[in-house]
Amino acid sequence: MNDTRAPAIDIALVGDAVAREPATAASTAGRTNIFDFDRAALERFFEEELGEKKFRAQQVMKWIHHRYVTDFGDMTDLGKVLRAKLEEHAVVHAPQLIFDKESTDGTHKWLLGMDPKNAIETVYIPDKGRGTLCVSSQVGCALNCTFCSTATQGFNRNLSTAEIIGQVWIAARHLGNVPHQQRRLTNVVMMGMGEPLANFDNVVRAMSIMRDDLGYGLANKRVTLSTAGMVPMIDRLAAESDVSLAVSLHAPFDELRSELVPLNRKYPIAELMDACVRYATRKKGESVTFEYTLMKDVNDQPEHARALVKLMREFDRRVQMKDAAKVNLIPFNPFPGTRFERPGDEAIRAFQKQLNNAGMIAPVRRTRGDDIDAACGQLKGQVMDRTRRQAEHRKRLQQDGVFDAA
């Protein structure tokens, strides 16, 4: 059923997104999708539903996440009776691969079908000695950040755990990744389509599989969750998971940030920084990354740099650790119909220099995959929009005489 509420800010939809489970999460043809289970849940399923020992669940996890086998008949160290039980009660169902593209710089993008009407994008970025997968958590996004291409697509629903970890599975299989041996996938960032903390339970469960030795065996610090600033959920994340935190800051002033990130009207910068301090101080040596997308004549001026330095220094002081705040500078990546522009290289370097001169770590993220629309802020997918935002964006494009290839 289409949502008829006006989506001016769509903050109301965030709460809806937290509670709402996708229709595809529970089963396929009445059978349970094992991709939805982390180790603890799969062990319970084996004991309570199948009447089997826990170690059998662990064997199946290895087959799925280490060897990329989805047919129970091919899991040769399982007995015939257990394989028959699994065929009757369970399935290993990954998202549908619609197409994949490779950039000239080695970046790889997959368009994955979640259901007949919705698809999301997942991106792999290889770099010196590391390979990072950018994973989506929702079909579209309810937050409506004004500089993000995903926002123009509107919002449909949360992804299930299976649909989130399925992105990792598809990429890892394609790359020939072998956990603990031939590791092509070294980092996962929850920075794709959607606000991860608005889909808390499914995202946390998927990140558990990423970090499990029977899953993808990634260290806690190599799995990063990026949020626009859902303050209560940052606190819940601190209590229930142990991953790296990144925050989409993009402005040091409330008035400007509220324009760029409407969620700021609900959780202003002071409240957000308080939550980040609580997250960083839950264990010794923890840092938080603050993402800052540079937009020409919007947030790239000297006064913005000075205010950002002040904000980050105060964070370090409260955490009582030098470089507790790390700033990631991201030059804006344009998309059809946007009113924002990327600053010139000189302006980007000048902004970075101000931060560096103040003693701050502030690398400029190199744009990757922009020739296949896989750069930061460009992910779109295919969204059956429950808001009116997608239609409004297309109307603006038509009025401006812009053709949107997507």
Supply the DSSP string of 328-357, one letter for each residue: EEEE----TT-S--PPPHHHHHHHHHHHHH
DSSP string, 161-214: HHHHHHHHHHHHHHHT-BTTTB-S--EEEE-SSS-GGGGHHHHHHHHHHHHSTT
Please, which residues bridge with residue 155 across strands? 140
Residue 398 has what pLDDT? 62
Name every residue whose Cβ is closer than 8 Å to that of residue 112 and which is 6 or more positions away in sequence.
Answer: 95, 96, 97, 98, 119, 120, 121, 122, 166, 167, 170
Catalytic residue among 43, 121, 195, 291: 121
| Structural element, H or E, at residue 233 | helix 231-240
Is 134 marked active-site? Answer: no
State what percent of residues in the chain have pLDDT above 90. 70
Task: Write down the domain spans for the chain.
Answer: 27-91, 94-395
Report how far residue 100's alpha carbon sits from residue 110's, in angstroms, rounded to the nearest whole number: 4
Q: What is the pLDDT of residue 399?
A: 57
Residue whose pair of structure tokens reads 């368009």 in the numeric block? 111
pLDDT at position 79: 95
Strands (E), 39-176: 90-91, 96-102, 108-115, 118-127, 130-134, 138-140, 155-158
Fold of 94-395: TIM Barrel (3.20.20)
Tens place of pLDDT for every residue, the chain, 406 residues?
333 332 333 333 333 333 334 334 344 668 999 999 999 999 999 999 999 999 999 999 999 999 999 999 999 999 999 999 999 999 999 999 998 988 888 899 999 999 988 989 899 999 988 999 999 999 988 898 999 887 788 888 999 999 999 999 999 999 998 887 788 999 999 999 999 999 999 999 999 999 999 999 999 999 999 999 999 999 999 999 999 999 999 999 999 999 999 999 999 999 999 999 999 999 999 999 999 999 999 999 999 999 999 999 999 999 999 999 999 999 998 888 889 999 999 999 999 999 999 999 899 987 665 554 544 544 456 666 566 656 665 665 565 554 544 4
Give the residues across from 96 on adjacent strands: 113
Q: Which CATH architecture group holds 27-91?
A: Orthogonal Bundle (1.10)
Write out pLDDT tens, residues 22-60: 334 344 668 999 999 999 999 999 999 999 999 999 999
Neighbours of 357 (CB within 10 A): 10
Instruction: Indicate which residue of 134, 145, 276, 376 is catalytic.
Output: 376
How far, in whole angstroms, is CA 176 from its chain's centroid?
A: 22
Pairing verdict, β 187-190 and 288-294: unpaired
Give per-residue pLDDT as tens, 149-159: 877 888 889 99
Any catalytic annotation for residue 276?
A: no
CA distance 182 to 160: 28
- Euclidean distance between the first and final Cα of the chain, in Å? 24
Looking at residue 151, its pLDDT comes to 77
Q: Closest Cα partner for 297 from 351, 335, 261?
A: 351
Phi, psi of 290 (to 5 degrees): -110, 120
